[in-house]
Amino acid sequence: MLAPTQGIEKPSGFHGRLGAGFFTAKRIFGDNHLLVNVGPVILLRYEDIAYWSLTGGGVWIAQTADHSLRFGAGIRSRAGWNPGFDPYRQGMADRDGTIDGYLNAVWNTSLMTVGAHYYHHVLGGGKGDTASLRISRRFALGEDLWLIPSTGAEWQSGERVDYYYGVRPAEVLPTRPAYAGTRTINADIGLAGLYRLSRSWSLIGGVFETRYGDSIAESPIVTMRYQTLYFLGAGWTF
């Protein structure tokens, strides 16, 4: 997800945004239970060198003099899942979360921002690799409102898809056949926004639609190809 702060402020030293918000989306598994997660918003930066959020962080290791093209490295976390009360996953083993290391590149132009990431498993259960490409553009609507439409694609290796969406032989039921996931590509489109209430306080939000690739959508434990995520929160900038 693109942070609405990108390109809006560039203060020096240690800075960022702290706040709270909620995410809501229907899960793509089984009964498509509506998930509502309330939690902190943390976006921290040091100079134009390092950054950190709740799901990970990184550093810029090389960039052009005007900072329009930069290359970096970092880590991110991905949540796993357990069957819970989902009838489609009853009797299945937990799928652990994973920590990936990544390399990334970001190119800023007057027309758009292009970002590319390559992720590789470091720790946890979800072995394999993913790679993503995202294009976004920031629009200023007056002095206090910014909108950032974006679109992107994410490739996931067969090993990663199989771990999270496959059905192992020991998990087979008459209504749940064995399934081995293969590599696939997910696509998404979204709109993020920021409205500045004062010099320090802002409202942030967004809506994002993901279309999951065939190898995920065809899993017997997945019952929804399209997933819409909504986010709304408020933050204090320092």
**Nearest-angstrom CA–CA distance, 107 and 109:** 7
Query: 14-237: which CATH architecture?
Result: Beta Barrel (2.40)
Collapsing DSSP to helix, strand or coil, 112 comes out as: coil
Residue 127 vs residues 99, 123, 157, 236, 238: alpha-carbon distances, Å: 9, 8, 9, 37, 37
- The Cβ of residue 62 has, within 10 Å, a number of other Cβ atoms equal to 9
pLDDT tens track of the chain, all 238 residues?
A: 444 444 444 567 889 999 999 999 999 999 898 999 999 999 999 988 999 999 999 999 999 999 899 999 999 999 999 998 999 999 999 999 999 999 999 999 999 999 999 999 999 988 899 999 999 999 999 999 999 999 999 999 999 999 999 999 999 999 999 999 999 999 999 999 999 999 999 999 999 999 999 999 999 999 999 999 999 999 999 9
With contact defined as beta carbons under 8 Å apart, do 131 and 117 qualify? yes
Q: What are the residue ranges spanned by the domains of the chain?
A: 14-237
**Nearest-angstrom CA–CA distance, 50 and 48:** 6
pTM for this one?
0.90
Sign, CA torsion 85/89/90/92: negative
Sign, CA torsion 115/118/123/124: positive
Q: Count Cβ neighbours within 10 Å for each residue of 203-219 and write b for 16 or more, e otherwise.
A: bbbbebebebbebbbeb
- The Cβ of residue 86 has, within 10 Å, a number of other Cβ atoms equal to 18
